[in-house]
């Protein structure tokens, strides 16, 4: 376990080796606040909660998380350091999980920096902090799902830009099924069970449930299973690249 923890610290420290980490954190916090208070009209809603804040997270993550995840493996392949990385005294699966955990913790740090918004709504009203907590939990799980996809796709290309674009497209496909416009397109002719199945495969549907305080084990299992599946795919692709 010690080599794994060292790997996580190494990867996490690498984010702060350049100013880009601080730029990312600043961009996330500023965009989250701007979308909540200005675009989402938080003041006009006159409700002491953070529902508007959480509603924008899937769309923020659609671009910011692939930008974070695109470097996980594509830069290693591009620089040739992946061969050195694979010789470390850790298993390939520990490498996959270590890189993912470090990126997920970094995304969690970005979320923690928005906690002043929780203090703000508590000063202005009496929000349900239990719902706010589940919203943060759901947001972190959603971030993990985006990162699992982005990390897996970054194995396939030496170009971080190509990995970023591909990850955005794939993640967008997992958002679409839960959007009202998509569901309305099928509502006139598709049976209800099919619509429910389609919506259940969407990040939007699962995240909406958790962010509204509905802490259903099925939603948590969805995110955990989704991340596990993409991490397994990540490891398999690395095995194939290693064999080449």
Mean pLDDT check: name the lowest of 54-58, 80-84, 134-138, 204-208.
80-84
Provide the pLDDT for residue 28: 94
Structure tokens at 48: 């002491």
Stretch 208-237: mean pLDDT, rounded? Answer: 90
Using 50, 70 and 90 to split pLDDT, how confident is the model at 182?
low
Give the global pTM. Answer: 0.89
pLDDT for 74 beyond 70: yes
Q: Let me know: does 65 contact 163? Beta carbons within 8 Å.
A: no
Provide the pLDDT for residue 57: 93
Provide the pLDDT for residue 173: 87
Q: What angle do CA 207, 101, 94 make, to 5 degrees?
A: 130
Using 50, 70 and 90 to split pLDDT, how confident is the model at 231?
very high
Mean pLDDT check: name the lowest of 32-46, 84-98, 141-155, 171-185.
171-185
Report the C-alpha gap between 72 and 167 in whole angstroms. 12
Provide the pLDDT for residue 225: 95
Mean pLDDT check: name the lowest of 73-77, 115-119, 138-142, 196-200.
196-200
Task: Give me the phi and psi of 139, to 5 degrees please.
Answer: -65, -40
Q: Let me know: does 190 contact 199? Beta carbons within 8 Å.
A: no
pLDDT for 91 beyond 60: yes
Mean pLDDT check: name the lowest of 134-138, 172-176, 198-202.
198-202
Structure tokens at 208: 């909406």
Structure tokens at 71: 């470097």
Structure tokens at 207: 């995240």
Provide the pLDDT for residue 135: 92
Q: Which residues of 127-151 are buried (b: 16+ CB within 10 A; e: fewer)?
A: beeebbebbbbbbbbbbbbbbbbbb
**Model confidence over 12-43: pLDDT tens digits?**
888 888 888 899 999 999 999 888 888 777 76
């Amino acid at each position: 376990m010690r080599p794994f923890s060292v790997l996580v610290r190494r990867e996490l420290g690498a984010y702060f080796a350049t100013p880009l980490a601080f730029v990312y954190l600043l961009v996330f916090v500023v965009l989250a606040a701007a979308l909540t208070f200005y675009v989402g009209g938080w003041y006009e809603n006159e409700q002491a909660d953070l529902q508007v804040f959480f509603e924008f997270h899937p769309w923020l993550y659609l671009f910011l998380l692939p930008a974070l995840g695109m470097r996980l493996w594509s830069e290693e392949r591009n620089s040739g350091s992946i061969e050195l990385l694979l010789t470390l005294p850790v298993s390939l699966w520990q490498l996959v999980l270590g890189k993912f955990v470090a990126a997920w913790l970094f995304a969690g740090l970005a979320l923690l920096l928005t906690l002043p918004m929780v203090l703000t709504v508590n000063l202005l009203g009496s929000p349900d902090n239990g719902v706010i907590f589940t919203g943060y939990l759901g947001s972190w799980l959603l971030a993990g799902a985006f990162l699992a996809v982005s990390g897996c796709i970054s194995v396939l290309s030496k170009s971080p830009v190509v990995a970023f674009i591909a990850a955005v497209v794939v993640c967008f496909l997992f958002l679409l099924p839960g959007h009202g416009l998509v569901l309305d397109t099928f509502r006139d002719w598709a049976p209800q069970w099919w619509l429910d199945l389609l919506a259940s495969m969407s990040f939007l549907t699962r995240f909406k449930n958790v962010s509204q305080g509905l802490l259903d084990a099925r939603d948590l299992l969805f995110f955990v299973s989704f991340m596990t599946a993409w991490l397994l795919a990540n490891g398999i692709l690395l095995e194939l690249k290693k064999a080449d």
